Chain A
Amino acid sequence: MEQILEIITKADNIPIILLLVTVLFYSWLAWSKMKKNDLQEIPEEAKLDDKVQVWPYLVRTEFIVSIAVMAIMLIWSIFLDAPLEEPANRALTPNPSKAPWYFLGLQEMLVYFDPWIAGVVLPSLIIVGLMAIPYIDINEKGNGYYTFKERKFAITTFTFGFLVLWVFLIIIGTFFRGPGWNFFMLGEKWDPHYVAVLTNIDFSELFGIPTRFPDGSLNPLAVAFGGIVVLGYYSLAGIYWFMKQNTDLMKKLGFIRYNIVAMLFLTMVGMVLKMLLRLGPVAIGANPIKYVWVTPWFNV
């Protein structure tokens, strides 16, 4: 209980509680609007297409919202001081060392991936992938109103990415990751001396192929096996293409656009699979998987 209070009342954690509340509220709001629109012929928004004067109908709303926001900021700032800890000291590392809250999802990824993937490749792919959305989503429906029925794939994928892989992981990182980035249940004491005893194995070792020989050198068979697994996973995109290439959707998408969609989608699903490969065995008391593909230069 003390531990919960300590985390929740930490001033810098207020935004995460706000995040949780607002995201849940707006998801519910959007969902109810989608449901309503999907049950009728024309969306609600289309019924309200007559024009109104910006003065006063829009300006007054902006004015009231601005005052409300400034009042909230003022009250928040009067009653809650921004944290100021001890002076910077390179010789004293706090445990846990956490990134700012909005990067905690990426920090969580460090559990499952090496830094070059979690810290560099994934963020870059998120940015590039987000920017690509308007150009790879060729569905003309659902432009300018709430609907789920008309764009199931787009909404499901994006919402999963935002709610689960971004917001949920931020919440895990804030409330459940303690010293050593170990997982602690809510209310459990954050013991800085707690050591999680885990014997990591690599994916190939599940199939009896050791990653390294007793002398420490890499097993070429394991390297090849890992490569086949990873590249084989991405080649699912090609198999699906050959199965579906004559459908209207695929023809409209075109080969290049299809491949961009498939690569981004498979990477997102791959993230989840890699998380499961690590968390699943821990849950049943087996050895968690560390790497799927080990090479002399990089590990996946």
Chain B
Amino acid sequence: MLSSFKKTEFYKSIFRHSYQDTQRNRALQIVDNVFLHLHPVRVPRHAVNLGFTWGMGGITFLLYIILTITGIILMFYYRPTAQYAYEDMKYLMNDVPFGPLIRNMHRWGAHAMVLTVMLHMFRVFLTGSYKPPRQFNWVVGVLLLVLTFLLSFSGYLLPWDQLSIWAVTVGTNMARATPLLGHEGPFGAQLGMRPDNDVRFVLLGGTEVGPPTLLRFYVGHCIFLPVVATIFMIVHFWRIRKDGGISGPETGKKTF
């Protein structure tokens, strides 16, 4: 039954290659698949060793995908206004089927992603993988680290509970001390900065964390930052391939 189905035109139009154990077929399985095509066809043996890579870059990407999916589901149940936000959270946690699971996964996934992104950077540093020709990809990676922090931080505000509003208050209070651009920063007052026109005001949409801040952080968290992060991720992955794949010691042989 299955084997005859596999012979149909329909099946063959979807799955081009079988599991045939030949070098050529295995290569085709990678290059003919849009998702697996992210990989080269062959890699040095040390690069598939988890002890070398720790797998942290890949896990970070997986967590980003988990966060995107759970995040989209959460958006169906959440309204970013001070009037409704907290009510929607209560609804999500008590009445929505699988609501707590989705929200928990989004929050713990976000924490885990911050952690894996830091470990990824640690590994890349320890193996000297930022050295030529991969200098610029390290720079892109640092930007992605910052974007991860910003994504996590902006998401922190959205539940609109005591924890979120005060954590964000503590964090954004720093902005008022920005040199030149904050009203309490060095030379800020001399440049005409006031609580209602400095960089913190721009960030919060007000002089304190309030309803406009919630909307600002929501749009930043759900649209602006993910789009920017995705673009940088595309560059990051592309550059890994173009810079010769997973780093490894120079062995005289051409490694890519």
Contact = CB atoms under 8 A, between A and B. Distances in A.
B223 interface: no
A273 B67 CA distance: 40
Contacts of A74: 101, 105
Chain A CB count within 10 A is highest, among B66, B121, B162, for B162
Interface string B109-135: 101101100110111011111111011
A53 B115 contact: no
Interface string B152-166: 110010011111111
Interface string B19-59: 00001001101100000100111111111111110110011
Contact of B103 (A57, A62, A82): A82
21 contacts: A15-B115, A19-B115, A54-B40, A57-B48, A59-B30, A59-B39, A85-B162, A100-B152, A100-B153, A102-B118, A120-B175, A130-B142, A130-B145, A134-B134, A134-B138, A142-B127, A143-B132, A143-B249, A151-B128, A166-B118, A298-B179
A89 interface: yes
Contact of B36 (A48, A55, A76): A55
B43 A84 contact: no
B171 interface: yes
A133 interface: yes
Interface of B: 23, 26-27, 29-30, 36, 39-52, 54-55, 58-59, 62-63, 66, 82, 86, 89-90, 93, 100-101, 103-109, 111-112, 114-115, 118-119, 121-123, 125-132, 134-136, 138-139, 142-143, 145-146, 149, 152-153, 156, 159-167, 169-171, 173-179, 182, 184-187, 190, 208-210, 247-251, 253, 255
A62 B43 CA distance: 14
A91 to B, nearest CB: 11
A283 interface: no
B119 A77 contact: no
- The interface residues of chain B, by DSSP majority, are classed as helix
A103 B118 CA distance: 13
Interface in A123-182: 127, 130-131, 133-135, 137, 139-147, 151, 154-155, 158-159, 162, 166
Given A19-B115, A84-B93, A87-B160, A115 B36 contact: no
Interface residues of A, number: 95
A52 interface: yes
Contacts of A115: 173-174, 176-177, 184-185
A240 interface: no
B186 A81 contact: no
B167 A97 contact: yes
Nearest to A88: B165
Q: Is the interface of A mostly helix, strand, loop or mixed?
A: helix
Nearest to B54: A26
A137 B54 CA distance: 24
Given A94-B162, A119-B174, A77 B108 contact: yes
A1 interface: no
A43 B49 CA distance: 14
A133 to B, nearest CB: 6
B251 A298 contact: no
A140 B131 contact: yes
Contacts of A100: 152-153, 156, 167, 171
Contact of B250 (A65, A78, A114, A144): A144
A224 to B, nearest CB: 18
B86 A78 contact: no
Interface string A96-125: 011111110011000000111011110000
A56 interface: yes
A126 B169 CA distance: 22
Shortest 6 CB-CB contacts between residues of A and residues of B? A119-B174, A134-B135, A115-B177, A298-B186, A77-B104, A144-B247
Given A92-B162, A120-B174, A145-B127, A51 B187 contact: no
A18 interface: yes
